Structure 1
Amino acid sequence: MLKKNIGTVDRVLRIVVGLALIAGYFMNPEASLRWLYLLGIIPLATGIISSCPIYSILGINTCGMKKQ
Structure 2
Amino acid sequence: MPVARVVPMTSQSKRPRIPGALKGQFTLPESFFHPLPEAELLAWEGSCSFDAEKGQGETSDFKKS
TM-score normalised to the size of structure 1? 0.23
Higher relative contact order (CA 8 A, sep 6+): 1
Q: Which has the larger radius of gyration?
A: 2
TM-score normalised to the size of structure 2? 0.23
